[in-house]
Amino acid sequence: MSKLFFLLCLLCSSVFADPTDLDTLFRGKEYRPVLNESLRTQSEKNSEMVQSSSKSDKKNDGIYVLQFEAVADFDAAQRRKAQLSASTGYAIQVVFDTPFYKLRGGSFDSKAKAEDKARELSVYNVNALVIKIR
């Protein structure tokens, strides 16, 4: 009798339980966090502004791109390029740097903006490195 009661309680609790993350995912209500423009503290931003004003009146500190992967196989690089382009919305370039094909995308005029975008993409399981090209 107690086993039957236990199974009945287990069945009822699973039917009336709150929906899980998987339930909302399958209903098309997946979790999308709201990210701030930057996760840096205000004091770090102020110190960057002071340093940039002490330099010449230069608006950017170089050109930065996001490097997503480096693979040795050209065909694998082309397949991954299509996947990354679809998931990020960037036009992905394949750069051959012996012995790897590097997948890069985006263009940012400051390292802070590039790091913020890389952090935002990491929430969606897309890993990226910030590379200075000029």
Task: Please state the separation of Cα 85 from the chain's center in Å.
Answer: 13
Q: How far is residue 78's CA from residue 82's CA, in Å, rounded to a whole number?
A: 7
Residue pair 44/112 in contact by the 8 Å Cβ criterion: no
- Please state, rounded to an integer, the average pLDDT across all residues of the chain: 75
Encode pLDDT of 91-133 as tens digits: 899 999 889 999 999 999 999 999 999 999 988 889 999 999 8
Encode pLDDT of 20-30 as tens digits: 555 555 555 55
Q: How far is residue 53's CA from residue 30's CA, in Å, rounded to a whole number?
A: 43
Task: Please state the separation of Cα 30 from the chain's center in Å.
Answer: 16
Among 3-12, 36-45, 69-78, where is mean pLDDT lowest? 36-45
Domains and CATH numbers, the chain: 60-132 (3.30.70.1070)
Contacts of 7 (CB under 8 A, 6+ apart): none
